[in-house]
């Protein structure tokens, strides 16, 4: 980073993130992410705010360059680099909004982690939205490329949330089927609705269950060509028997030639490109979420114990993130 | 901003801001801002956390490069670019932490601004801390250089907060006296304590009063060589008679050869370096604080009505900020 840049980079990024968070809260993200122009009236309708309010916020977006006027003066177009700016905003929003309870109560978490953890929890929606913004360039492209390249007939996503990744994959692979597993009933319902909207509902099964449950019941991963687990497997690493049981369930159930794709973060990466965000990510997981992220060698050892003989590890763009592909 | 930078700038800035906010909450900012090394024990004592907690947080600061090990392995040194990184963090912290109630309730502010304004207020401390971090390079250097260059014998700061600017000026100008005026009783008490700590208490008068009160009683600005008002005069611009009365009080009371220095933001600046942050700053003041920032010409007209004949306007580093010097 060039800290003597003549541009005020931090001010630009902070303003973008705040304005995109406001837009998200007003229900305008869909308009801002689409390629076609939108109108002042659509802003009023989507946000359910009076004309003056829609004008005021559109003026801010125009001045910030997040939106431009179309040839028709009543038409507005998202800026051509919206995807880049939303990706950048994701880091700010994850660090300073989604993790707000951990930042504001840092002293309590260092004094009495268990009590603080019981009292102060993150808002799942803020975590999901900011993670999605980071993931747009931070890890989804690598994962999607890896999985679609394998042309899997059946894909299982562990910790699938609202099903975004699977719906994307099933849309790209029209002959494939998928199973979304998540602990959150609300996320599962959202995944079912989203799959119907995307017209892949008949090819997507949604299972409201914990990852741990795979130890006893392998059926959700049975005959999968790809099992994916993004930033969820670290939740079970503190219980090695559970981690080993889940990995063994995958190894035993995956179809011939299939693989397990684990996207996760490794701790305290020293690389200059990764060190700052990796430090925050590692510290918050350790101090506030009781998650000790395993380093690459521990992941490799765990895959080996479960019987996987061919394991690769690839850094993705999000600092500290790694994609493990376990096969064989 | 180079958005295709091989560094992950947004991730770096987000992590720095979150870690510096955590440090501030733990009471460690003083250690991080001083030039001399500090010890693990000082971190434990300042934060009042157990040894393991101090170690965990120091590990994060070390990995992020915000702190380095000294030659003595028990000594820690703040990174050499701490001041730059704290300045950058200021923008993120102001936008996404200090303004959190405005972001989270943006719809309410656009629907019913008065009711929302009564219900959702910012935390004064978060505003003060993030503004101070921005100001460190964003506006204080320009203001300090302008004022000290004039070698004023008496300096008055309107909306002085905890007195930071005046204490800095009185330390640099050992023959000068000052008066700090602020609406907040808590800020005034803090200013008195800080002045005593800095050993300028005998030269600093603290007055707990509103800026509006100057219309009726000129005494706080009487015989001042410099009257400064930083980001507070805009609070009275919605009442032109009050603005004019305050400016006239200053004009009538300032010593011969003296001046009024107003640091404030102008609205919706189109310059590429300023536009994003200026858009956020203008929008939040208008939508959530009922403050319509006056453009440069309106400021000039108001100074003229009050009798100032010599007015200059200089952009400071914070996007959208301007320093007006009114004399004559």
**Option in A16, A100, A284 nearest B276 (CB):** A16
A261 within a domain of the structure (yes/no): yes
Residues of chain A with pLDDT under 50: 1-4
Search chain B and give the residue with CA nearest A91: B11
Dump pLDDT digits (tens) for B311-324.
Answer: 999 999 999 999 99
Query: What's B43's domain CATH number?
Result: 1.10.10.10
Q: What share of chain B is helix, strand, coil (3-state, %, to 5)?
A: 55, 15, 30
**Residues A129, A249 within the same domain:** no
Please indicate, yes or no, whether residues A270 and A219 belong to a single structural domain of this protein.
Answer: yes
Q: Identify whether B85 is part of a domain.
A: no
Does B181 lie in the same domain as B50? no
Residue of A nearest to B27 (CA): A107
CB contact (8 A) between residue B47 and residue A6: no
Residues of chain B with Cβ-Cβ distance to A271 below 8 Å are none
Question: Mind telling me how many Å the CA of A112 is from chain B's nearest CA?
Answer: 9
Q: Mutate which of B8, B11, B283 to disrupt the A interface (most A C-beta within 10 Å)?
A: B11
The verdict on A106 and A155 lying in the same domain is no
Contact check, Cβ <8 Å, B277/A8:
yes
Q: Please name the residue that has the structure tokens 């799942």.
A: A124
On the question of pLDDT at B3 being above 60, the answer is no
**CA B121: distance to chain centroid?**
18
How many domains does chain B divide into? 3
| Burial classification of residue A328, based on how many CB atoms lie within 10 Å of its CB (0-12 exposed, 13-18 middle, 19 or more buried) | exposed
A67 and A31 Cβ atoms separated by less than 8 Å:
no
Phi then psi for B252, rounded to 5 degrees? -75, -25
My answer on whether A187 and A297 are in the same domain is yes
- With beta carbons under 8 A apart, name residues in chain A contacting B16: 276
- Cβ of B22 and A279 within 8 Å? no
Residue of chain B nearest A50, judged by CA positions: B111
pLDDT digits (tens, 9 = 90+) for A156-169: 999 999 999 999 99
Q: Say whether pTM exceeds 0.90.
A: yes
CATH assignment of the domain containing B240: 3.40.50.150
A102, A251: one domain: no
**Cα(B225)–Cα(A265) distance, rounded to whole angstroms?**
58
Domain match, B25 and B153 both: no
Q: Which residue of A has its CA nearest to B82?
A: A3
Q: Does a structural domain hold residue A298?
A: yes
Domain containing A55: what range? 3-80
What pLDDT score was predicted for residue B2? Answer: 41
Q: Is residue A232 part of a domain?
A: yes
pLDDT value of residue B106: 98
Strand partners of residue B78: B67
Residue B30 and residue B112 share a domain = no
pLDDT digits (tens, 9 = 90+) for A103-129: 999 999 999 999 999 999 999 999 999
Name the strand (E) or helix (H) holding A128: helix A124-138
**To 10 degrees, what angle do helices B82-93 and A9-25 make?**
20
A122 and A245 both lie in a single domain: no
CA dist list (Å): B183 to B180, B207, B249: 10, 9, 18
Look at A111 and B53 and tell me if their CB atoms are within 8 Å.
Answer: yes
Confidence of residue B74 (pLDDT cuts 50, 70, 90): confident
Task: Give the separation between CA B299 and CA B85, rounded to whole angstroms.
Answer: 33
Query: Are A112 and A151 contained in the same domain?
Result: no
Alpha carbon distance B325, B143 (integer Å) = 10
Q: Is the same domain home to B268 and B312?
A: yes
Chain A residues inside the 8 Å CB shell of B100: 97, 100
- Confirm whether A85 is domain-assigned: no
Chain B residues inside the 8 Å CB shell of A266: none
Q: Tell me, what's the pLDDT at A5?
A: 53
In a domain, B166, yes or no: yes
What pLDDT sits at residue B4? 44
Give the pLDDT confidence of B241-286 residue by residue, as tens digits.
999 999 999 999 999 999 999 999 999 999 999 999 999 999 999 9
Contact B11 A277 (CB under 8 A): yes
Could you give the CA distance from residue A313 to residue A327 in angstroms, rounded to a whole number?
A: 12
The pLDDT value recorded for residue A74 is 86
- Of the candidates B230, B260, B253, the residue with the CA atom closest to the CA atom of residue B131: B230
Neighbouring-strand partners of residue B229: B158, B262
Percent of chain B with pLDDT over 70: 98
Contact B97 A96 (CB under 8 A): yes
pLDDT-derived band at B5 (thresholds 50, 70, 90) equals low
Mutation target for A interface from B17, B18, B29, B108: give the one with most A CBs within 10 A. Answer: B18
pLDDT digits (tens, 9 = 90+) for B104-117: 999 999 999 999 99
Is residue B55 assigned to a domain?
A: yes
pLDDT of residue B180: 98
Chain B CA closest to residue A92:
B14
| Interchain proximity B16–A99, CB inside 8 Å | no
Q: What is the pLDDT of residue A35?
A: 86
Chain A residue with minimum CA distance to B86: A10
Q: Is B96 close to A96, i.e. CB distance below 8 A? A: yes
**For the residues B54-82, what does the mean pLDDT come to?**
95
Query: Are B129 and B307 a contacting pair, CB within 8 Å?
Result: no
H or E stretch at A229: strand A226-230
Q: Are residues B70 and B207 in the same domain?
A: no
Contacts of B6 in chain A (CB under 8 A): 273
Choose from B5, B6, B15 for mutation: most chain A CBs within 10 A: B15
Query: Which residues of chain A does B272 touch, with a Cβ-Cβ cutoff of 8 Å?
Result: 7
Give the pLDDT confidence score for residue B1 in this predicted structure.
39
Q: Which positions in chain A touch B110 (Cβ < 8 Å)?
A: 26, 47, 49-50, 53-54, 56-57
Contact A9 B88 (CB under 8 A): yes
Query: Which residue of chain A is at minimal alpha-carbon distance from B269?
Result: A63
Q: Is A70 part of a structural domain of the chain?
A: yes
First to last CA, chain B: 41
Start-to-end C-alpha separation, chain A: 41
């Amino acid at each position: 980073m060039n800290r003597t840049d003549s541009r005020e980079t931090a001010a630009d990024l902070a303003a973008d993130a705040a304005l995109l968070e406001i837009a998200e809260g007003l229900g305008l993200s869909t308009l801002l992410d689409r390629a076609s122009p939108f109108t002042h009236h659509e802003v009023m309708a989507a946000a359910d705010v009076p004309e003056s309010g829609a004008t005021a916020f559109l003026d801010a977006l125009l001045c910030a360059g997040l939106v431009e006027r179309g040839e028709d003066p009543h038409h507005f177009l998202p800026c051509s680099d919206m995807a880049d700016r939303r990706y950048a905003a994701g880091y700010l929003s994850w660090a300073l909004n989604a993790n707000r309870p951990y930042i504001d109560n840092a002293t309590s978490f260092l004094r009495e982690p268990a009590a603080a953890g019981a009292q102060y929890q993150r808002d799942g929606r803020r975590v999901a939205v900011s993670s999605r913004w980071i993931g747009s360039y931070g890890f989804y492209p690598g994962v999607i490329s890896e999985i679609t390249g394998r042309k899997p007939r059946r894909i299982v996503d562990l910790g699938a949330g609202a099903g975004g990744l699977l719906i994307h994959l099933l849309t790209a692979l029209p002959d494939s089927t998928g199973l979304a597993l998540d602990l959150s009933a609300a996320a599962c319902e959202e995944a079912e609705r989203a799959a119907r909207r995307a017209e892949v509902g008949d090819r997507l099964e949604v299972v409201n269950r914990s990852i741990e449950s795979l130890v006893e019941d392998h059926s959700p991963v049975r005959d999968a060509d790809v099992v994916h687990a993004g930033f969820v497997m670290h939740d079970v690493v503190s219980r090695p028997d559970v981690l080993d049981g889940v990995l063994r369930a995958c190894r035993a159930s995956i179809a011939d030639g299939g693989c397990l794709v684990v996207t996760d973060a490794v701790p305290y990466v020293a690389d200059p490109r990764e060190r700052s965000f990796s430090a925050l990510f590692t510290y918050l997981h350790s101090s506030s979420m009781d998650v000790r992220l395993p380093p690459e060698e521990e992941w490799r050892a765990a895959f080996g114990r479960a019987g996987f003989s061919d394991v690769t590890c690839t850094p993705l763009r999000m600092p500290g993130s790694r994609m493990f592909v376990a096969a064989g």
